[in-house]
Amino acid sequence: MKKITSNEYLLLVFRIIIACVFILASIQKIMYPASFANSIINYRLVPDLLINILAVILPWLELICGILLLIGHQVKETILIINILLVSFLILIFIALLRGLDISCGCFGANSEMVGIRKIIENSILLLGGILLQIYNSKKYSINTIN
Amino acid sequence: MNKINYNKVVYIVVISIIIAIIYNHFSMTGIPLIKKKVVFVQPQNYNIEPITLETAFEMHGNDSVIFVDARENIEYKEDHIEGSINIPYYDTLIKTDLINTLDKSKKYVVYCDDEKCGLSKMLAVKMYENNIKNVFILTGGWQLWLSAELPTSKEQLK
């Protein structure tokens, strides 16, 4: 099992997929932060004062982490941030489902899928990949770190 | 196993925050960092009715009913419900006159791509908040209308 999960090509695939998902997810949210703020509001969990700050900062964090992950720079550090984000998103979606909220997940901006089991499954798969990358790292086809 | 350099984690987060704030400041679609008052709302809070395809089709062609396409203009141009106007939801975030100029005595049926799309709900709420009370949401949206082979058009209306 360890041979499979630590396979460098499998880890590379996870690294690329997670990176691309985060980069794509960030673009529309960076272009339309007000719309993303509305998506955050819909979860009815975040204090009012934090909504806009999160709407502005989160997409850029996703983009920069996605790019760093894609080029393989500081993979362990970047994937830690991404894993924290994924766990947070999973918790938010789960709570929204428990509350019966019929809302867009806001994952890729306002025109995103509604919250549901599918979103939980998708995020869980990404998180699984993220955990493997956290444990084993991925240096295949990556920029050498300086230090 | 390589150890995590937590200083670098902090560095990445701080750099992201700085870039985000600077971009937001200069961006045309930038928003205030502190939002003082937030009113949470969903269509059902305002009693905005979702309507079925059958109901929408019955209303279609009625002079007092206007269909509103909430998708991006590029999607509207490709094809849309015949006779509908285009009010891209994202545009209403920066241009306030898109909704203000609508005739409040008319009824409006708002749609976007499909039942998973949230744009029609958000646009309907925004219209309601701008005193357009007779607003409805087409459940299933454009994809449902298209699959039922109901009238569509590429003609752009304003």
For residues A58 and A75, give the distance between their C-alpha atoms in angstroms, rounded to a whole number. 19
Query: Chain B residues with CB inside 8 Å of A114's CB?
Result: 116, 118
The encoded tokens of residue B103 equal 């005739």
**B27 Cα distance to chain centroid:** 21
Interface test with B, best of A62, A69, A77 (most B CBs within 10 A): A77
Q: How confident is the model at residue B91 (pLDDT cuts 50, 70, 90)?
A: confident
Instruction: Give the mean pLDDT of A126-146.
Output: 82
Query: Chain A residues with CB inside 8 Å of B119's CB?
Result: 110-111
Percent of chain A with pLDDT over 90: 47
For residues A131 and A139, give the distance between their C-alpha atoms in angstroms, rounded to a whole number. 15
| Residue B22, pLDDT above cutoff 90 | yes
User: Within 13 Å of residue A37, how many CA atoms lie on the same side as its CB?
Assistant: 27
| Residue B64, pLDDT above cutoff 90 | yes
Q: B107: which DSSP letter?
A: E
| Residue B147, pLDDT above cutoff 80 | yes
* Mean pLDDT, rounded, of chain A: 86
Please give the ipTM for the structure prediction.
0.88
Beta bridge partners of B68: B85, B110
User: Smallest CA–CA separation between A2 and chain B, in Å?
Assistant: 14
Helices (H), ranges, B62-106:
73-78, 89-92, 97-100
* DSSP assignment string, A34-84: HHHHHHHHHTS-S-HHHHHHHHHHHHHHHHHHHHHHHHTSSHHHHHHHHHH
Closest to B88 in 3D by CA, of B108, B104, B111, B106: B111
For residues B37 and B49, give the distance between their C-alpha atoms in angstroms, rounded to a whole number. 26
Give pLDDT, residue A147: 44
Q: Give the list of residues 6+ apart from residue A134 with CB closer than 8 angstroms, or none.
A: A76, A79, A80, A83
For residues B90 and A33, give the distance between their C-alpha atoms in angstroms, rounded to a whole number. 10
Closest to A133 in 3D by CA, of A81, A93, A91, A67: A81
Give pLDDT, residue A146: 46
| Residue B158, pLDDT above cutoff 50 | yes
The SS3 call for residue B25 is helix
Give pLDDT, residue A35: 78
Closest to B126 in 3D by CA, of B145, B90, B99: B99
User: Smallest CA–CA separation between A91 and chain B, in Å?
Assistant: 20
From the list B16, B31, B90, the residue facing A64 with the nearest CB is B16
Query: Chain A residues with CB inside 8 Å of B6's CB?
Result: 77
Instruction: Give the mean pLDDT of A85-103.
Output: 87
| Residue B150, pLDDT above cutoff 50 | yes
Instruction: Give the mean pLDDT of A114-126.
Output: 88
For residues B100 and B79, give the distance between their C-alpha atoms in angstroms, rounded to a whole number. 25
